[in-house]
Structure 1
Amino acid sequence: MSFAIDGLSWIENWRMPNGGQSYVVPFPTLRPSTIVFHGEEEFTYGHYGIHLGQADVLTFLGDESQVITGHFIDCRIDSPTRNTIEHHTWSPSSGRHLRIPPGIAHAFDGLERIHTLNTYDCYLPAEDQIDKTSWNPDSDVINVPIDADPLEVALFQPNSKAASERWYRLLAKQQYNAISANSEEYPLTMDVSFDDGQSRRIKLRKVNAKKRNPHPDIEPIVGIDGLQWRAHPILWSGPNSGFVPLTDAAPMYFIDHGTDRYTHDAYGIHLTQEDRLTFLGPPDHTVRAHFVDLREGSPTLHATVSVDFTPSAGRYLAIPAGVAHAFDGLERVFTVNKPQSYVKAENDGIDTINGNDVLDWPLDQRPFPVLTPLTVPASETFYQQRAALQQELVSRPPATGTPAVLMIDGPDGQPVKIAVRKKVAAGAHPPTNAGVDTKERALRKA
């Protein structure tokens, strides 16, 4: 699919094969991101949105047979394609993302049952634009009627200076504090002209004091100490739609489990991280989780628990390091993980990473081991180093799939880990535009 608007583009996501139809899609950055959910009923925004200081980077997750329609107008005053309008249709895919540069108005139809992962880029005004910009960092969105004439819409000067990493950290803190305390829905922002000829940008918010996350702040899973569900903060945009900010300064990845039956044949065990899993998928789909506590000194050592749950963007599952876990029925589900890492001692660097922090333990193997997970929270420097290593990894095509890591007895009788990796054949990466139906209409100002 090609676009007429300059800079509007599809970009392929780096994906590591994870067996069958499944892929792991990493985002090696400490920047915040957002999960957007749209409910189950027909969803349309009804107006365009324009950001002046943000490029949306959107991965659409859902049923690949569903059709999404996107509407775009180039509202950048200096763009060679200003006033261009176009409309496209496509289907969700974990294999690519849509990049919408600042200043391009956009709206979507057909987002019901779709989750959107926005790993956005931020921009600040250039030095010569600081006194002239109409950008509002507290509410960087301008809404335009969906039936606006592309030749008559207001044009804007978007920000052009890439934001620093410090800006992203300040933004993450502001987002978390603001959304946690918010009792209003996402605002509608419009430029309004008054009778005296003056123009003002007004923000309309619907008070939503009774709309709360349906999940409790903390919901322990009885039987294993520290295993629990935790609620995400949500900024509601409608009765069943909203935004979930992911603000922890840690690299993130998600797993696309495909549509074929997906069941683990072994427990996965981490000794240096707490998984924080958000499950996105049909709300009537049931997943079963199995857990075993393998932590030395735990009050629930070797306790086993199984629970059923349904996917929801409103909460995440916190699995302490040393708790083995396996899942049944993850097909049609996308799992987002922004894990908390642990190191051997304070100020430990990336050298504590042994390449792959996971052990696979066959579901029927007994007796269960007793393991010693790490307990010192990793530093920001650690996460920066981990992100840098992951950035280097994704700079080249994947050579192997995700490994199976087994614990066996070594020659001296001591347990050792071995990793079994399956090579990825050259050209095996499937095309990401498969099944995309494109329809477009472009209007350029004469």
Structure 2
Amino acid sequence: MFDQIIEKTDIIGLHFEKNLSIGNKFYTHVIASSGPGISDFVTHSDAFHYTQYGIHIAQVDRLTFFGDPNQIITGHFVDCREGSPTLHKYVSIDYYPDPTKKLNIDRGIAHTFDGLENVLTRDEPIWYMSVGNSDYNMESDVINVPRELELNEFPEVTINKYPIPREAYEFVLGIQHKNMTELQEYPNRVLVNIDGEKRYVTITPKKGDKEN
């Protein structure tokens, strides 16, 4: 389910893979990667800026970046996987939009980016499930971490382990699409400590009053 690795990093599961593509110096036609064949496309405005890291428990991100080939993108990554030999290791990568390759970010690796203004991203996610994983929430598979947090304060999370069939993708997508239609802004899911117990709190922006 994974394509050829062409650039590695110091965190296992964080690397660039080769995209299947054809073209010339004027255009590039990018073909879908191996896997379930599901893609998400996200546009970014000229004022876009991330204020937090995101951590997926169930989802592997496979990101292709489309945009000005001279625009520098900087990715920031922290390994948050419980038991990982590189737990809380930080890696920063500078790269450019390039349709011939995609960035693979495994579950449990916190990530955020600078330099995505006017860039289009294609994500071809791969999802995993587990039974009884308290770190996982099917409706919102993102844990948010402030960018200014010290490395040793990043969470340690248990990632989901088992790849799912196509039918499960369709089920989860249905839940996510239903939730998205009700959102004005994306909620933040953060880890807190209450009476010595680890708990997750979802913070949803309050809808503004409708004008008469």
TM-score by length of 2: 0.84
AA matched with 2:29:
F
1:423 Cα shift?
A: 4.8
Question: RCO higher in 1 or 2 (8 Å CA, sep ≥ 6)?
Answer: 2
Match for residue 358 of structure 1 among 142, 147, 157: 142
Q: Which residue of 1 aligns with 2:115?
A: 329
Quote the Cα distance in structure 2 between the aligned partners of 1:314 and 1:269.
25
Quote the Cα distance in structure 1 between the aligned partners of 2:4 and 2:207.
42
Quote the Cα distance in structure 1 between the aligned partners of 2:145 and 2:49.
14
Q: Which residue of 1 aligns with 2:169?
A: 383
Quote the Cα distance in structure 2 between the aligned partners of 1:358 and 1:249.
20
Q: Which residue of 2 aligns with 1:242?
A: 28
Aligned residues: 203
AA matched with 2:169:
Y
Structure-2 change in CA distance of 1:301 and 1:392 (3 Å)? closer
1:224 Cα shift?
A: 0.7
1:391 Cα shift?
A: 4.8
Match for residue 186 of structure 2 among 392, 402, 412: 402
Contact 1:398 1:424 in 2 (8 A): no
Quote the Cα distance in structure 1 between the aligned partners of 2:129 and 2:37.
14
Quote the Cα distance in structure 1 between the aligned partners of 2:206 and 2:6.
40
Contact 1:406 1:418 in 2 (8 A): yes
1:353 Cα shift?
A: 4.5
Q: Which residue of 1 aligns with 2:39?
A: 252
TM-score by length of 1: 0.42
Contact 2:28 2:99 in 1 (8 A): no
Quote the Cα distance in structure 2 between the aligned partners of 1:296 and 1:264.
25
Q: Which residue of 2 aligns with 1:415?
A: 198
Structure 1 unaligned segments of length 5 or more: list them.
Answer: 1-215, 429-446
Aligned-partner SS, 2:172: helix
CA RMSD across the alignment: 2.6
Larger Rg: 1
Match for residue 298 of structure 1 among 72, 84, 88: 84
Q: Which residue of 1 aligns with 2:10?
A: 223
1:354 Cα shift?
A: 3.0
> Deviations 1:84-136 (Å, cap 9, x if unpaired)?
xxxxxxxxxxxxxxxxxxxxxxxxxxxxxxxxxxxxxxxxxxxxxxxxxxxxx
Aligned-partner SS, 1:284: coil
Structure-2 change in CA distance of 1:249 and 1:222 (3 Å)? closer
1:292 Cα shift?
A: 0.7
Structure 2 unaligned segments of length 5 or more: list them.
Answer: none
Q: Which residue of 2 aligns with 1:61?
A: none
Query: 1:7-86 alignment to 2 at 5 Å?
Result: none
Identity within the alignment, %: 31
